[in-house]
Structure formats: C-alpha cells, structure tokens
Amino acid sequence: MKTMDNSTNQRHPRALLVTALLLALWLWPPAITSGAADAAAPVGGIPDKVFNVREFGAKGDGRTLDTASIQKALDECANAGGGTVRFLAGTYLTKPIVLRTRTTVQLDDGATIKATDDAADFAVAGKPNSFVPFIGGKNLQDVTITGRGTIDGSGAKWWGPAEEARRKMPGYTLPRPNLIVLAGCKNLRVENITLKDSPKFHLVPTDCDGVIISNVTITAPEHAANTDAIDPSICRNVLITKCRIDVGDDNVAIKSGRKVEGREFASENTTVTDCTFLHGHGMSIGSETAGGVRNVMVRNCTFEGTENGIRIKSQRGRGGVVENVSFSDITMKDVDPAITLTCYYMYNSAGDRVQKSAPEQDAAQPADDKTPVFRNIQIKNLRATTKRGAGLILGLPESLITNVVLENVDISAATKGLTVKNAKGIQFKNVHVTCKEGPSTVVENAQVEGLEAAKTSEGK
C-alpha cells in the first residue's frame, strides 16, 4: 500500500487541477440550446453570426440530399471567422460532411442529421475497405456540437454482415465508417445531443487536447457489432460526464495505439463521471495501449446489464504502460464480469461462442516496449452483481500487474469468483466476494495482501 499511496499523492494535485479546469470549461460559457435567442449567443469568443442551413438550400425533409447545402453553410461559417451553423427541426439526409474551425454546430430540438447508407458515399478512392467518417474534421480549434437534436448513422445495413464476419472470426472488425471522427483538435465540446446507430464507432476524438463530452445519449442495438460509443484515442485532458450509453460494444474505450513524439504518454488526464452504462462492453482502457495511458479517473458511474464492468485490456505486441488509474463509487447490476484487468486480451468478448483466455501454461517471454505494463490501479467503493464470474486480474509471466488496491468492494457473482494471476502488490481492504462455484478468490503466481481478512463465500 505504501507504494500505491506515494504514487497517488504525487499524481492527485495535477489530476485534480486538470479536472477543475475541464469542469470550469464545461460550466462556462453556457451551452447553446434550441431557442432562437440562444442560437446567436457567442461561444468561447467565436463570432455570433448564425448560418441557417435552410438559407443555403437544405430542405430537411428526409428525402432530399442536403449535403451540398450543409457543407456550404459550414464553409461559409469558416470563411467568416467562425459562428454557429444551425439546423432547425427536420431530417437532413446527407453524405459525409466536414467540420471547420471555430464552428458551433447546433441541432435544434427535432433536428436530425441522417447519414445515407450507400457504401460508395463513404469510400476512399484508391483504398479498398477504407471509409471516411460521416462527420469529420482535422486540426481544428474551438469546435462544438450541441443542441437537443440527433445525429443518425443509419447503420442497420452494415451490422448484419459485420456480425456474420465476427461470428466466423471472433474479434474481426469488418471495415465500416465511423460516425464522428475529429482529429488533431483543441477545445472540442460535444453536449446535450443524441448519437445513434453508427455503422461502427460513434464518437472518436483522435489526438485531441481539451475534450468535453457532456450529457450525450448514445444508442445502438445490443447486437450491432463494434458500435463503440466514445473512443478517445491518444487524447489529453478529456472529460466525459453525465452521458447515457446503450450500444453493442465498448461504452467508453480509452485508446493509445501509438507513441507520440514529445509525450511520455500519448493518452493522459481523462475523467469519466456520473455516466450510465447499459448494454455494451463496459468502461475500457485499451486494447491499444502502445502509446501509454496514465491519469484516468472514473467515478460515480452506474452499470446495468453491461457485458463488462471496468476493464483494462491489452496483449503482447500491442501493449504499453497503463498507470495511475482509479475507479470509485461504482454500482453494477447484472454485469459480466465486474472487473477485468487482462494482458491476454484476444479481441473477443465474453459473449462470443469461443472465448479465448490465458493458456494454462505460458512461459515468460522477453519483454519489449510493446509488452503490457499495468500498475498503480485503485478500485474503491464498488458494489456489483454479475451474470457469471466476478472477474480477473491477469498479468503476464514476464510483466506482472502491480500495485492494485481493492477497497470497499462487494461482488456477488452468479458463478465463479475473482481470479488473480501473475500479479504482485495486490491489496484487499474490506473486500467481500461471494460466488456459487468454487473458491471466491483464486490466486496463482500472485501476492495478495489482506486476502485472509477478506469476507468471502465459496460455492459448494
């Protein structure tokens, strides 16, 4: 515990400062809503000029293709130095569009931006199986997507073939467009809107700094493969708060797939708070961790019927350092399982017909810069019931998971208990695990302090 405490004390001032700054940005200036008076309110110093897409020819009737009109409004907004591109109530059918810097996209109550579902509309010329996102943008600053409306990815046409491919090869991701991908942006806000039915991932900030995602509802059918909700990738200073997520894959997945020059950790300073996770694969870090992830705080979140609860996942060849992660004040109901920290992630999920796990016998391999390293992790004030097992903490023989503290944790598992393997510096403080099959805690090649005092109940 001493090592964990020292690390925690060193990181909290910075983490708290980052969180305070993000919360300050979130609370000010006020969010734009659907009212006419609000539509003209300047945001963050952006000019208050409003560009109504209907004035550029958009019909919003759900049948007419409005792409050219919408893009013209976005371009004119940028040419004017910024402003608000406004969508009145209606359904705006469009091919992919590109956002510009210093732009607020406002969707009034009843407004829907709806994607076409023709693969040719998204295809990248000369690159088979490559697609542009429905809404994209690169190297932007001061971009907001807000209002009470909806962005609809029209993904149903894509999901059937994707699920069929995944069942043939667990973990295979059939190439499809993402809904929103904004790369290299500073000061990005997505708030109050609904995102739904993406062909693949819904919201993917990539290499962004200063991201606030607040009060966003994201939905897709449970069976829609790979429909991650929010995937901040190699981002810094991210706040995800008050979101409701019900999708077919990761609810939130913090990713760090490559190293970034000049940064020790490609992904750092992420806070997830006051969110509700329903169907989906849980609150994840990984599986891409090669660039490193640090300073993640998840608190006051609710999980119900989620395939995973909290999960840190990677594997040999895709790993990096994941450190200084805290989960606190978490409630879970009927999840599967509650806790997963694994260095043997094999791209598939608990619901797959063939679920790969760690081999029974696995010799240590030479470690390199792509070996997963998980350390300094705290799970506190967790209450959970599970559909099957309680979960696992599973390192590699050559890279033990280190310094994990479970405090005030109560897990009632329908089948098996908690497995701890290839780990050291694991501490149980007021931990209660019950299960119906076998021992409540299985320890192999691991050092667990406080296990003897843990309140446990074994199956018969």
* Residues noted as catalytic: 249, 281
In this structure, how many other beta carbons lie within 10 angstroms of the beta carbon of residue 319?
27
> Facing residues of 383 across strands?
331, 410
And the tokens for 395? 């390192």
State which H helix or E strand residue 377 sits in.
strand 373-386
Q: Which residues have a Cβ under 8 Å from the Cβ of 426 and sit 6 or more positions away? A: 393, 401, 404, 405, 406, 420, 446, 447, 448, 449
The maximal CA–CA distance of the chain, rounded, in angstroms, is: 72
Q: Which residues have a Cβ under 8 Å from the Cβ of 280 and sit 6 or more positions away? A: 229, 245, 246, 247, 248, 249, 250, 251, 306, 307
In this structure, how many other beta carbons lie within 10 angstroms of the beta carbon of residue 444?
11
Q: Which residues have a Cβ under 8 Å from the Cβ of 395 and sit 6 or more positions away? A: 341, 343, 372, 374, 401, 421, 422, 423
Q: Tell me the HSE value of 178 on the side-chain side, using a 13 A CA sphere.
A: 19
